[in-house]
């Protein structure tokens, strides 16, 4: 029997909730993030509507740059309490469809459907039912990828956004993958893409055409992981993960003290990227974000912000860190050390399960 896994991803989550609550925003570029301050803001875009993306906007983009590209957009600050309520409603609905449910952050989840769906046609019917229920009860849309593995299901989700359903079967998934850019593979980002491109790997078909031994020779364990993903050899279970540590942190001491904001900001980005790799690897969420800053005379300060619900979005971390850093913007001393800590880690909490029989 073929394994069947669902990956469910809420479309433009923050923006979708705002558009739901403000119908006048429909079909307009809605941007959630820092205050652009007429193009002088320091924060970043958390998420944006598809209309905003047509202007080249995307998550993680400096809010000043977003304003330059789309000055007529609707810029809103995040309302975490409202998003938390919407996320909980969606996850409660999803968790009813399978006992093997794994929430990832606030807007994604996996469902193990192997023993629930008769086949991939049946899976499509159930996916449509899920979509309709979420639209009816929560008022936002969700895209669903269906495949024999978790990683393939996640790749499938992006094919037909928004509000789409994409099915990768054991027979057709390589046909879908071969035309895709290598960055569609979880684990290949912008930096590693350059390395892969230099070795002649631009499309996923280039990986599919190479033996595992060659991938290991070229890229080591990372190459082995990537090769197994695109060939459907990912046996990871849909489950919640135990959190064995109370926090994850990284800090950087500068070789020379600096008051150059652009330099300091670049180090904040680097630290956040490193921490995010651990967050992704273990599918963790966090609620508290802490900035640590040490000045040239060794005066050290920490400032924290605790959100109303757990997240795993690195772009929001940057937004909060900049908000906390702003308190020290008037200090005349140079910075010696900068650090980020994420705490109140959670297992991407598994909602209490209720069977469909009981729900009916």
Domain-wise residue ranges, the chain: 5-12+82-237+350-359, 14-79, 247-343
Domain 5-12+82-237+350-359 bears CATH identifier 3.90.1150.10 = no
Q: Please determine, for residue 357, whether its predicted confidence score (pLDDT) is greater than 50.
A: no
Q: Please determine, for residue 344, whether its predicted confidence score (pLDDT) is greater than 90.
A: no
How confident is the model over 335-359, as a mean pLDDT? 62
pLDDT digits (tens, 9 = 90+) for 216-231: 999 888 899 999 999 9
How confident is the model over 34-41, as a mean pLDDT? 89
pLDDT attached to residue 349: 42
pLDDT attached to residue 60: 84
pLDDT digits (tens, 9 = 90+) for 64-106: 999 999 999 999 999 988 998 999 999 999 999 998 999 887 8
pLDDT attached to residue 109: 94
Q: Please determine, for residue 40, whether its predicted confidence score (pLDDT) is greater than 50.
A: yes
Active-site residue identified among 51, 108, 112, 315: 108
The architecture (CATH level 2) of 14-79 comes to: 3-Layer(aba) Sandwich (3.40)
Q: Please determine, for residue 242, whether its predicted confidence score (pLDDT) is greater than 70.
A: no
Query: Using CB atoms within 10 A of its CB, is residue 256 exposed (0-12), middle (13-18) or buried (19+)?
Result: exposed
Q: The domain 247-343: what is its CATH number? A: 3.30.1490.100
Q: Please determine, for residue 122, whether its predicted confidence score (pLDDT) is greater than 60.
A: yes
How does the average pLDDT of the chain come out, rounded? Answer: 89
User: Same CATH fold, 247-343 and 14-79?
Assistant: no
Query: Using CB atoms within 10 A of its CB, is residue 244 exposed (0-12), middle (13-18) or buried (19+)?
Result: exposed
d(CA 107, CA 12): 9
Q: Please determine, for residue 48, whether its predicted confidence score (pLDDT) is greater than 60.
A: yes
pLDDT attached to residue 355: 27
- Which residue shows structure tokens 């919407």? 86
**In which band, very low, low, confident or very high, does the pLDDT at 351 lie, cut at 50, 70 and 90?**
very low
- For 44, 112, 179, the CA distances from 176, given in Å and listed in that order, are 33, 22, 7
pLDDT attached to residue 347: 66
How confident is the model over 165-169, as a mean pLDDT? 97
Q: Please determine, for residue 259, whether its predicted confidence score (pLDDT) is greater than 60.
A: yes
How confident is the model over 152-174, as a mean pLDDT? 96
Q: Please determine, for residue 153, whether its predicted confidence score (pLDDT) is greater than 80.
A: yes
Q: Please determine, for residue 264, whether its predicted confidence score (pLDDT) is greater than 60.
A: yes
How confident is the model over 237-257, as a mean pLDDT? 74
Q: Please determine, for residue 240, whether its predicted confidence score (pLDDT) is greater than 70.
A: no
pLDDT attached to residue 360: 26
**Whole-model pTM above 0.85?**
no
Instruction: Look up 108 and say whether it is catalytic.
Output: yes
pLDDT attached to residue 243: 45
């Amino acid at each position: 029997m073929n394994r069947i896994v669902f990956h469910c991803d809420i479309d433009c989550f923050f923006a979708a909730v705002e558009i739901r609550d403000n119908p006048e925003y429909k079909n307009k570029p809605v941007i959630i993030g820092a205050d652009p301050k007429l193009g002088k803001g320091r924060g970043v875009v958390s998420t944006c509507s598809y209309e905003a993306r047509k202007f080249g906007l995307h998550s993680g983009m400096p809010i000043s740059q977003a304003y330059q590209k789309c000055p007529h957009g609707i810029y809103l600050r995040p309302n975490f309490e409202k998003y938390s309520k919407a996320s909980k409603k969606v996850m409660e609905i999803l968790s009813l469809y399978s006992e093997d449910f794994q929430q990832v952050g606030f807007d994604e989840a996996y469902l193990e459907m192997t023993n629930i769906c008769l086949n991939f046609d049946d899976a499509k019917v159930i996916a449509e039912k899920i979509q309709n229920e979420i639209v009816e009860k929560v008022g936002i849309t969700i895209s669903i990828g269906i495949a024999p593995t978790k990683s393939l299901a996640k790749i499938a989700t992006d094919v037909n956004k928004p509000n789409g359903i994409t099915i990768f079967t054991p027979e057709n998934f390589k046909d879908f993958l071969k035309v895709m850019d290598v960055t569609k593979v979880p684990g290949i980002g912008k930096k590693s893409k350059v390395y892969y491109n230099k070795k002649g790997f631009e499309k996923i078909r280039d990986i599919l055409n190479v033996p595992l031994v060659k991938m290991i020779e070229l890229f080591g364990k990372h190459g082995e992981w990537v090769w197994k993903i695109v060939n459907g050899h990912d046996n990871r279970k849909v489950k919640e993960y135990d959190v064995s540590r109370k926090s994850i942190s990284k800090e950087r001491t500068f070789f020379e003290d600096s008051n150059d904001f652009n330099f300091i900001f670049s180090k904040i980005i680097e630290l956040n990227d490193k921490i995010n790799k651990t967050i992704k690897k273990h599918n963790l969420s966090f609620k508290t974000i802490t900035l640590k800053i040490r000045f040239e005379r060794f005066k050290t300060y920490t400032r924290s912000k605790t959100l109303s619900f757990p997240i795993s979005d690195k772009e929001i971390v940057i937004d909060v860190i900049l908000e906390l850093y702003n308190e020290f913007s008037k200090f005349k001393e140079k910075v010696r050390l900068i650090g980020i800590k994420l705490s109140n880690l959670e297992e991407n909490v598994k909602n209490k399960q209720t069977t469909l029989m009981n729900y009916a």
